[in-house]
Structure 1
């Protein structure tokens, strides 16, 4: 499992942070910040994807747990990233809808791919 954590989360995190550092020293601070924030999202996604390795769990249990892990980690990162204008509660709700929409579409794509590749 440790190897999976390294390959799925930590390695992309390190690579993206090296890219962020290079961008920073090229005075592309906006791009560096975006890459740095994205590296945390990739780290969390990579590690959280291990939830789907538990064969004895139902797909519903895996999906619910994964959703709440994403809600407690990715959603707050999106809120503090500076990628969205957050003035009113409507803005926070819009970010939540984007989070929910992207997550749903991603889940459907990966679920479909898994179904086709496992048969």
Structure 2
């Protein structure tokens, strides 16, 4: 349910804006807006994967990558942001997708493991008399 709300709201908003732009004859802007909506929805909705307690980081990361692979990568390919008139254009999109994903994963890993202090376990909590 949480994933549906996290992804559905931005997807609906961005889809409405994208359709409005396309209706105004701004097809490139509309297509870009739709692509951004899909990317935001995929990232926001799949963020709940990292809250699954029984999964280790490897499993969470692989599941997240799989979701990004079937949502964000096609959105990038259909966005019109990259020239896809040759095979090298597709390689550029895939390389950008992988590089951005790796940089973001490492950044958030460092933030959440090194910068943000962890909550104490309930067993570590100080009990008041």
TM-score normalised per structure 2: 0.77
Task: List structure 1 runs of 4+ shifted beyond 4 angstroms.
Answer: none
* 2:12 alignment partner in structure 1: 14
Unaligned runs of at least 5 residues, structure 1:
none
* 1:117 alignment partner in structure 2: 116
* 1:62 alignment partner in structure 2: 60
Q: Deviations over 1:56-103 (max 9, x none)?
A: 211111112211221222212211222211122222111111000111
* RMSD between aligned residues: 1.9
Q: How far apart in 1 are the matches of 2:45 and 2:88?
A: 31
Range 90-99 or range 70-79, more displaced:
70-79
Q: How far apart in 2 are the matches of 1:97 and 1:38?
A: 18
Q: Which one has a larger percent helix, Structure 1 or Structure 2?
A: 1
> Tell me, what secondary structure is at the counterpart of 1:104?
helix
Larger Rg: 2
Q: How far apart in 1 are the matches of 2:28 and 2:54?
A: 44
* 2:29 alignment partner in structure 1: 31
Offset of residue 54 of structure 1? 0.9
Unaligned runs of at least 5 residues, structure 2:
119-129
Q: How many residues get paired? A: 117
